[in-house]
A and B are shown apart, each in its own frame.
Chain A
Amino acid sequence: MNDEVYSFALKNTLDEIQNICPEMKNSLVFKEDGSIIARDENTSEDLAAQIIESFNTISDKTDAIGSIEGITLDCSKGELQVLFINELYMVTVTTEKADKNYVDTVTRVLVPTILRLLEKIRPAPLKRRSLPKTKTPIPEDDVLEEDELEEDTEEESEEDTKDPRAKEDFDDEEADNEDIIPEPPVHQLIVENLGGLLVPSDTVRMDTETLSQWERLFEDVKIEEVNVETFNGKSTRCKVKPMKDSKYEGKGIIRMPEKIQNILQIRKSELVRVKPVID
C-alpha cells in the first residue's frame, strides 16, 4: 500500500467518522513535520494548513512542559482537540452539541485501530519497525493475536517474493534495528470486575495466552506487572496473574479489582490499554 492509498483509506475513515458523528465539523491527520496525511471533505487544504501552522507555533515553544501531546480548545460554540495517536496528530473540531464522550470514544478507539491496521498492511510504515521478525520477536508496538501473526507472516513472505525491493528495504531495516530492544506491546482490553474474599486488590488477571506471548516476546522474562492506561490518560502499574476462570479466556478481557478501577476512574465494560512492564 503506497502513501496515496494509505491517505485515501484514512480520509475515508475520517469521512465515515463524520457520518456517524454529524457534530464533527472538521477532522485532520498530520505528521510531526507538518505534512497532511488525510483530511475530511469539510476541511480545505488552506484550513488544514492554518491549523497545523497554529499547532506548530505552540509546539515550538513547549520544551518547558515536555513535548506536546495534545491540545484542547474549549469554546462557546464548540471544541477543537489535537490528539497524539501512533506518532501522528489528529485534529477534531466539534460543535457544542456534540456528545464529547461519544466523539472521544470514536476518535480514541477507532482511529488508532485503523492506523494500526493500515500500518500492518503497508510495506513502508510511517512508524519505524522496532525489531526484525526473526532474530528477536515482534517488531510492532502492538501485538497481534496469534492467528493474525500467522497471517501477517504469510503475507510478508508473499510480498518478499513478489517485490525484491520490499525485501531489500526490510533487510536494510533489519540491519539497522538489530540492537534495539522490543517496545512493550499494547493490548486494548475490556474491563471485567474481579471480586471475592481472597482476591488481592493490587492484581489484575489476563489471558494466559497473552501473558505467554509476552513472555516469549521478551525471551522468557516472567511478566509480573502491567501498565494499565485508560483512554482518558489515567494509568497505573499493577501486578498481573493469569485468569483462573476459562470462561473469560480469549475474549479480550482484563479482570480488575474495584480498587484499581477506582484509581483509574473506570468501570466494567470500559476499554483500557495494557502493556507489560519489563524492568
Chain B
Amino acid sequence: MSEAVAVEESEVDSLRQDLEKVKELDGVVGYILRDSSTAMINLDDPKKLVDYAILSSLALEVGDTLAKRLELGDVRDITLKGRDTKVVSLTRNETKISVFIDKEDEYEKILSKLRSLRRS
C-alpha cells in the first residue's frame, strides 16, 4: 500500500519537474498541476490563481462532456484561446495539468512540448 503511494507521488513529482522546464519556455506564464490529493502551482501572477484554477477545471470538465456527446473518444487536450492568454489543459492518468501561455508565437512549440511530455 505504501509502495503504491510512493509510486504515485513520484509520478506527480516527475510531472512537476517536467512542468518546471516548460515554465522556463518563453511565453509560459504559469501552470497548475493537481490530482485528488495535491496541487502544485507556479504562476507569474498569483492574483489570477482562483480564476485560472476555475477555468482549467471547467475546461477539462466541458471537454469530457463534449467528447462523450460527440463520440470523439478520449480527450488528449483542450486549448482555450483567450484574447490575452491561451490555456492548454490535459490529463495524465489522474493528474490534471493546465499551462498558461501569453505569447501567440510560442503556442505551437509549447503545445508540442506538452503533448510529448504526456506521452513520455
- Chain A interface (Cβ < 8 Å from any Cβ of B): 25-26, 47, 50-51, 54, 57-58, 61-80, 93, 96, 232-235
Q: Shortest Cβ distance from A63 into chain B, in angstroms?
A: 7
Q: Shortest Cβ distance from A170 into chain B, in angstroms?
A: 31
Q: Shortest Cβ distance from B75 into chain A, in angstroms?
A: 5
Contact call A57/B62, Cβ cutoff below 8 A: yes
Contact for A93 among B51, B72, B85, B87, CB less than 8 A: B72
**Contacts known (A58-B58, A64-B48); A73 close to B67, Cβ less than 8 A:** yes
- A61 / chain B contacts, CB cutoff of 8 Å: 51, 54-55, 58
Q: Once the chains are docked, how many angstroms separate the CA of A54 from the CA of B65?
A: 8
Q: Shortest Cβ distance from B67 into chain A, in angstroms?
A: 5
Total residues of chain B contacting the partner, CB 8 A = 36
Closest 5 pairs (CB-CB, A-B): A65-B82, A66-B83, A77-B73, A66-B84, A76-B73
- B104 / chain A contacts, CB cutoff of 8 Å: 233-235
- B81 / chain A contacts, CB cutoff of 8 Å: 68-72
- B48 / chain A contacts, CB cutoff of 8 Å: 64
- Chain B interface (Cβ < 8 Å from any Cβ of A): 48, 51-52, 54-55, 58-59, 62-63, 65-67, 69-87, 100, 104-105, 107-108
Contact for B82 among A47, A50, A62, A77, CB less than 8 A: A62
Q: Shortest Cβ distance from B56 into chain A, in angstroms?
A: 10
Chosen A-B contacts, 8 in total, with CB atoms closer than 8 Å, are A50-B69, A58-B55, A65-B83, A74-B79, A76-B72, A233-B107, A234-B104, A234-B105
Most buried by A among B66, B78, B107: B66
